[in-house]
């Protein structure tokens, strides 16, 4: 496994991390034993960067990682997040970035995870009613207290990043980025590189769509949140978006790899500061994702992939109207 620098003195981590969200909810039923086996397998194969959040499974995801961390804490760089407060269903949520809440959320995450310090602590979303300087100032206090090693932001604009970075060095920015979500190219990708901030794409495989395995809404579980909260997966939009996956699949066949591997290799090729965190619940796909890091893309390969889905050509927004309100553009 190759390594990349996470930024702000957090050191090197595996070039590909593991997003753990789906091990608790969102993508249909999950199996605890299988999830734990996948975590162990990922570490054994060289993945050292693991991503969770307090809102995933309403705390369940952090609790799931507890025993895994207890066995391997010194081998793992652990990222978690605060800010999305849910008291029930997915749509029933609010954003809290106040200093009092940050301190409370941090203590709760440390307890669920069973650790003394969080390596990378993200503000999951920002509430515009709370100045980012105030939020980052409270996060910086956690660094001073030894409860957090590095700070991160998620789904923020370049302007917000610069304001935050002026208060305390930001180690990483996490945003959705893939062949079918090119938004970061309009503003945040280059400023991250300029400031020495790692860029961490979540859903680098388009929430599974770029694997080529989703051809219909019926390929997803009845309680899969893509069916209710992801306009791109609505029946009509999904059918229109299949054309780009078919083109990706054809290119992958010519390279002797899977569509997922080619899509992930494209993300990795966007810069040495880019560290994607594809999520999976099975060892098989961990191996498939890791193999993408070894793929070598030519300039012609990258150009061809760029043309598969130019910005603005994908049908459907990536979140509902409510969800997009919390994306800082």
The Cα-based distances of 37 to 27, 232, 280 in angstroms read 18, 31, 12
Q: What is the mean pLDDT of the chain?
A: 93
Residue 290: closest CA among 45, 37, 3:
45
Residue ranges of E strands in 194-273:
198-202
Judge whether 202 counts as a catalytic residue: no
Average pLDDT over residues 137-163: 98
Q: Are 206 and 245 in contact (CB under 8 A)?
A: no
Confidence of residue 279 (pLDDT cuts 50, 70, 90): very high
Please give the average per-residue pLDDT across 259-285, as a whole number. 96
Angle at the Cα of 59 from the Cα atoms of 57 and 64, rounded to 5 degrees: 85
> What domains appear along the chain, each with residue ranges and CATH number?
3-206+260-295 (3.20.20.100)
60 vs 326, residue with greater confidence: 60
Q: Inform me whether the pLDDT recorded for 198 exceeds 90.
A: yes
Residue length, the chain?
329
Catalytic residue among 56, 121, 122, 285: 56
Nearest CA-CA partner of 207 in 228, 185, 175, 176: 176
246 pLDDT more than 90: yes
What does pTM read for this prediction?
Answer: 0.94
């Amino acid at each position: 496994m190759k390594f990349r620098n996470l930024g702000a003195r957090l050191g090197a981590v595996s070039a590909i991390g593991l997003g753990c969200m789906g091990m608790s909810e969102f993508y249909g039923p999950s199996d605890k034993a299988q999830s734990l086996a996948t975590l162990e397998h990922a570490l054994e194969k060289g993945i050292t960067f693991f991503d969770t959040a307090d809102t995933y499974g309403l705390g369940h995801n952090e609790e799931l990682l507890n025993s895994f961390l207890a066995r391997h804490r010194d081998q793992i760089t652990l990222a978690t997040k605060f800010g999305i407060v849910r008291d029930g269903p997915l749509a029933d949520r609010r954003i809290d970035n106040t200093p009092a809440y940050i301190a409370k959320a941090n203590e709760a995450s440390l307890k669920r995870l069973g650790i003394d310090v969080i390596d990378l602590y993200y503000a999951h979303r920002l509430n515009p009613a709370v100045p980012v300087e105030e939020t980052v100032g409270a996060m910086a206090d956690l660094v001073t207290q030894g409860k957090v090693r590095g700070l991160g932001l998620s789904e923020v604009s370049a302007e917000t990043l610069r304001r935050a970075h002026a208060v305390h060095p930001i180690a990483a920015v996490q945003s959705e980025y893939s062949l079918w979500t090119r938004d970061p190219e309009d503003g945040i990708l280059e400023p991250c590189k300029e400031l020495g901030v790692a860029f961490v794409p979540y859903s680098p495989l388009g929430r599974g769509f770029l694997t080529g395995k989703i051809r219909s809404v019926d390929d997803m579980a009845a309680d899969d949140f893509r069916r209710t909260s992801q306009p791109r997966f609505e029946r009509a939009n999904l059918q229109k978006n299949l054309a780009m996956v078919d083109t990706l699949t054809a290119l992958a066949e010519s390279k002797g790899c899977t569509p997922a591997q080619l899509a992930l290799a494209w993300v990795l090729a966007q810069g040495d500061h880019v560290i994607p965190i594809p999520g999976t619940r099975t060892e098989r796909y961990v191996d498939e994702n890791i193999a993408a890091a070894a793929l070598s893309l030519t300039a012609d390969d990258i150009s061809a992939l760029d043309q598969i889905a130019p910005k603005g050509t994908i049908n459907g927004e990536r979140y509902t109207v409510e969800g997009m309100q919390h994306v800082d553009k």
